[in-house]
């Protein structure tokens, strides 16, 4: 197989399909999504069998249990995939919306129309549900997409690809609007990220290693998520109950998510009050506290207490471990956050209005919160309806990326024969 030629043909088909998708009406896009959802239920046995093939091969090659878990397509996962599509059907169609239409002194009327980006390349791990979620979001936003899932999921992805293509065709849309890369050769990724003539944006979903490789090699703009080093700062004027609830939830609700708190900053004046209360809760979950000298003095006797090092401030633990630092005041907290945060999500707990407003403005992260758990930073909680990922970038889309993040705004001008003089 000539990978370069194969990917070029995939790209050309995607570009062609993207033009038809850009003008597809809402009813056709929704019909395709519903047909796909119905077929997922109908073909559940076929999907399970394909997934079994992938699982057998993955077990034989010794895939790690956590990855096997993500690869597994349970009955619940099948239902969730289909429900996810119906939720996308229920979302308003972003495409074609015209906003800010204003008359200019010359007589022309100028506004902006929301349009698809074109062709979106998505690179992700061996998680079959991502195949359906991503396809659904791209269809609804009028884009064509090229999906490159982890090679371990190839059989299941091929079965899903068939369902998706049939759904598109059944709604009168081009079957090529969603293509799944049919080869597990890694060279295909190298091609996908260097075809700006066929691919408008790459959305990578995967580990830091993958993202860093893509950042080096990609010639196509990316909407990417690197890591989540999130902070909670407990201000001197914090409400004690809110501080404890939020800091416990932000760390312990789930350890493996990117919006989990990794570093806790506490104002000096409140540290002796709040840290012992928090320690009682963290102890129930055996959370290791990596604390600075001052915090360790307060936390003396906590069973999982260690000394923090400079590296800890830049660590995404994804585990029951928390770095703890005592700071003089909010200025020191903001300074620490702007130095070490991955600009994902940072939260302040305070009852002080002026400091709350300053924190909101001065912390340079995709999500900045007052008196709320960092765990709220996701597309569903924000009301986007669905998300394709979370962006750490500043350009184009920042934070959780929903349907709008897969679109662009073009200027539209309504004239009456005006010329420029």
Residue number, 97 or 294, with CB nearest to a copy of itself: 97
Residue number, 73 or 313, with CB nearest to a copy of itself: 313
By CB under 8 A, name the one of 42, 59, 104, 186 that touches a copy of itself.
104
Please state the closest distance from residue 370 (CB atom) to a copy of itself, in A: 6
Which region, judged by CB under 8 A, interacts with a copy of itself, from 49-57, 146-154, 282-290, 368-376? 368-376
Closest to 90 (Cα-Cα) out of 19, 24, 140, 125: 140
Q: How many angstroms separate the CA atoms of 312 and 307, rounded?
A: 10
Closest to 176 (Cα-Cα) out of 201, 139, 148: 139
Binding mask 3-22 for a copy of itself (x = CB under 8 A): ----------------x--x
Residue 251, token pair as written in the block? 């760390």
By CB under 8 A, name the one of 200, 227, 235, 315 that touches a copy of itself.
200
Which region, judged by CB under 8 A, interacts with a copy of itself, from 96-104, 132-140, 311-319, 320-328? 96-104
Beta bridge partners of 206: none
Q: Does residue 399 interact with a copy of itself by CB under 8 A? A: yes
Phi, psi of 351 (to 5 degrees): -110, 5
By CB under 8 A, name the one of 86, 93, 182, 245 that touches a copy of itself.
245
Question: Under a CB-based contact definition with an 8 Å cutoff, are residues 237 and 351 in contact?
Answer: yes
Beta bridge partners of 390: 400
Residue number, 84 or 118, with CB nearest to a copy of itself: 118
Question: Under a CB-based contact definition with an 8 Å cutoff, are residues 106 and 126 in contact?
Answer: no
In which residue are the tokens 């093939």 written? 53
By CB under 8 A, name the one of 239, 277, 292, 332 that touches a copy of itself.
239
In which residue are the tokens 């196509």 written? 220
Please state the closest distance from residue 184 (CB atom) to a copy of itself, in A: 29
Please state the closest distance from residue 369 (CB atom) to a copy of itself, in A: 4
Residue 415, token pair as written in the block? 């004239």
Q: How many angstroms separate the CA atoms of 235 and 214, rounded?
A: 39
Handedness of CA 226, 192, 183, 140 (dihedral sign): positive
Q: How many angstroms separate the CA atoms of 261 and 321, rounded?
A: 10
Q: Does residue 117 interact with a copy of itself by CB under 8 A? A: yes
The enclosing H or E element of 401 equals strand 399-401
Q: Does residue 408 interact with a copy of itself by CB under 8 A? A: yes
Please state the closest distance from residue 393 (CB atom) to a copy of itself, in A: 8
Q: Does residue 241 interact with a copy of itself by CB under 8 A? A: yes
Helix (H, G, I), strand (E, B) or coil at 228: coil
The 10 Å CB-count burial string (b at 16+, else e) for 335-356 is ebbeebbbbbbbbbbbeeeebb
Q: How many angstroms separate the CA atoms of 372 and 391, rounded?
A: 20
Q: Does residue 91 interact with a copy of itself by CB under 8 A? A: no
Residue number, 22 or 91, with CB nearest to a copy of itself: 22
Binding to a copy of itself in span 251-310, by CB under 8 A: 253
Residues in the interface with a copy of itself (CB under 8 A) total 68
The enclosing H or E element of 384 equals none
Phi, psi of 126 (to 5 degrees): -80, 70
Q: How many angstroms separate the CA atoms of 313 and 334, rounded?
A: 14
Which region, judged by CB under 8 A, interacts with a copy of itself, from 276-284, 298-306, 319-327, 373-381? 373-381
Residue number, 133 or 387, with CB nearest to a copy of itself: 387
Which region, judged by CB under 8 A, interacts with a copy of itself, from 68-76, 155-163, 294-302, 353-361? 353-361
Please state the closest distance from residue 419 (CB atom) to a copy of itself, in A: 4
Binding to a copy of itself in span 24-83, by CB under 8 A: none
Helix (H, G, I), strand (E, B) or coil at 208: helix
Residue number, 168 or 334, with CB nearest to a copy of itself: 334
Residues at the contact surface with a copy of itself, assessed by CB under 8 A? 19, 22-23, 96, 102, 104, 106, 108, 110, 113, 115, 117-118, 200-201, 221, 239, 241-242, 245-246, 248-250, 253, 338, 347, 358, 360-362, 364-373, 375-377, 381-383, 393-396, 398-400, 408-421
């Amino acid at each position: 197989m000539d990978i370069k030629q194969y990917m070029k043909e995939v790209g050309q088909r995607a570009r062609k399909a993207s033009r038809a998708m850009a003008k597809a009406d809402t009813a056709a896009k929704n019909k395709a999504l519903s047909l796909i959802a119905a077929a997922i239920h109908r073909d559940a046995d076929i999907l399970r069998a394909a997934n079994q093939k992938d699982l057998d091969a993955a077990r034989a090659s010794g895939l790690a249990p956590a990855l096997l878990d993500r690869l597994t397509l349970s009955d619940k996962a099948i239902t969730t995939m289909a429900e996810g599509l119906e939720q996308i059907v229920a979302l308003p169609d972003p495409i074609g919306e015209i906003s800010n239409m204003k008359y200019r002194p010359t007589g022309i009327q100028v506004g902006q129309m929301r349009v698809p980006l074109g062709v979106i390349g998505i690179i992700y791990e061996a998680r079959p549900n991502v195949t359906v979620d991503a396809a659904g979001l791209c269809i609804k936003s009028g884009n064509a997409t090229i999906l490159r899932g982890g090679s371990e999921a190839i059989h299941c992805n091929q079965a899903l690809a068939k369902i998706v293509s049939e759904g598109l065709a059944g709604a009168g849309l081009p079957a090529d609007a969603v293509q799944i890369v049919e080869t597990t050769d890694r060279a295909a990724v190298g091609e996908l990220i260097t075809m700006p003539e066929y691919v408008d944006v790459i959305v990578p979903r995967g580990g830091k290693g993958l993202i860093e490789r893509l950042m080096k090699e990609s010639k196509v703009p990316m909407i990417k998520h690197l890591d989540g080093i999130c902070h909670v700062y407990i201000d001197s004027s914090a409400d004690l109950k809110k501080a404890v609830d939020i800091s416990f939830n932000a760390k312990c609700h789930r350890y493996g998510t990117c919006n989990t708190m990794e570093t806790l900053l506490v104002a000096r004046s409140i540290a002796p009050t709040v840290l012992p209360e928090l320690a009682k809760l963290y102890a129930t979950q055996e959370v290791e506290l990596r604390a600075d000298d001052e915090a360790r003095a307060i936390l003396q006797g906590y069973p999982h207490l260690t000394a923090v090092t400079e590296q800890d401030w830049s660590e995404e633990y994804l585990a029951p471990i928390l770095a703890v630092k005592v700071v003089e005041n909010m200025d020191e907290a903001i300074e620490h956050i702007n130095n070490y945060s991955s600009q994902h999500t940072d939260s302040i707990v305070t009852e002080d209005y002026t400091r709350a407003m300053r924190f909101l403005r001065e912390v340079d992260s995709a999500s900045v919160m007052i008196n709320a758990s960092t765990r709220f930073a996701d597309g569903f909680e924000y009301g986007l309806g669905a998300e394709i990922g979370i962006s750490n970038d500043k350009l184009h889309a920042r934070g959780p990326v929903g349907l709008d993040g897969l679109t662009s705004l073009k200027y539209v001008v309504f004239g009456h024969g005006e010329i420029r003089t």
